[in-house]
Structure 1
Amino acid sequence: MSAAAPCRCGCARADGAAAHAIVAALAADDLDRALALGLLDAAACSACTPDCTAMLIDARVARSKALAARARYRARNARLAQRAQERAAQRAGARAPEAATRDGAMTPAAEPSRPTLPSAAAAALARAKAKAAERNKS
C-alpha cells in the first residue's frame, strides 16, 4: 500500500499511512501481514473514523492478550516440567536402598529421619496413648 493510498474509512493523511496499511491487512483478515507492518507498535491515525481506529486498537489488544496467554502457557509448562524432574529425582533417590561403605561393602541405607513432633503435640500423643492403654487393660 502506498503512502498516498486512502484508508478504508476514506482517510488519506500521509502521516497515518502505517495505520492505514495495518487496517487494510486486518480488513483482509491477514493478521500475519498486520503484525509484520507493526500492529503491536503503530499509532492509530488521528484523522480516521472512530470505527477504523477501534478496529486497529481492538486487534492490538486482542493480539497482546494472546501473546500474554502464550507466555503464561509456556511458563506453566516450564514449571510443570521442572516439578516432574524434581519428582523423578526424588523417586530415583528413594530407589537406592543400599549405600557403599568405605571398604566397598553394601549396607542398607538409613531411613530418612521423621520430623520430630513439637513438644506439646508429643505430650498430647503420649497422654492419648496412656489413656488408650488404660482402656485396653480393663
Structure 2
Amino acid sequence: MGEASSSICRQAARGESLLALLARDDLDAAIDAGLMDIAPCSADCACVTRLAPIWDAQRRLRTAWEARDRHRARQARLLRRAAERDARRAPAPAAPQAPRPSLPPSAAAILARAKARAAGKSGS
C-alpha cells in the first residue's frame, strides 16, 4: 500500500472525485468538476485502467453531444428549406395598379357629350 501511494499520478485525486460523482449518477456535477477536461497521464500509468469509467463517460458524452449537434443542424436545415418552399409557393405580390375608371371609355365619352348638350340647353 505504501508503494502505491508513492506512485500516485497527478490525475488520481481528481479522478477519484469524478468517479464518486459518476457512481452517484451525478453527471451534471461531474461535468462541472471537469469530467471532459481530464486525460490519462500516459499509456503506462495506472490511471488508464483505474479511471476507465471516466474515459467511457467522456466517450458517451461526446457521442451524445455530436448527435445533438447533428439533430439541431438538421432541424435548422429543415426549417430553412420549408421557409424557402413556402416563399416559392406564395403568390407574388401584386403590383399596384392604376385606379380603374368607374366607366368604360366609350360610356365616359357618351356621358361627356350628354353633359355638354345639357349645359347648352340650360344656357339658352
Give the TM-score normalised by the residue count of structure 1. 0.56
Pick from 31, 34, 38 the counterpart of residue 38 of structure 1: 34
Look at both structures and tell me which one has the larger radius of gyration over its CA atoms: 2
**Further displaced range: 79-88 or 20-29:** 20-29
SS at match of 1:38: coil
Match status 1:47 vs 2:46: yes
Pick from 10, 18, 22 the counterpart of residue 15 of structure 1: 10
Query: Could you list the runs of 5+ residues in structure 2 that have no partner in the other structure?
Result: 101-124
Identity %: 43
Aligned residues: 91
Instruction: Return the structure number with greater helix share.
Output: 2
- The 5-angstrom pairing of residues 1-138 of structure 1 reads 13=8, 15-16=10-11, 17-44=13-40, 46-48=45-47, 50=49, 52-92=50-90, 95-96=91-92, 98-100=94-96, 104=98
Q: Is the 8 A contact 2:18 2:30 kept in 1?
A: yes
What amino acid does structure 2 have at the position aligned with 1:80? L
Any idea what the Cα deviations from partners look like across 1:19-73, whole Å, max 9, x if unmatched? 22111111111101111111111123633472x3221111100000000001001
Give the TM-score normalised by the residue count of structure 2. 0.61
- Counterparts of 1:97 and 1:30, CA distance in 2: 56
What amino acid does structure 1 have at the position aligned with 2:67? A
Any idea what the Cα deviations from partners look like across 1:46-104, whole Å, max 9, x if unmatched? 33472x32211111000000000010010001000100110111111xx2385446xx3
Q: Give the superposed CA RMSD.
A: 2.5
SS at match of 1:29: coil
What amino acid does structure 2 have at the position aligned with 1:65? T
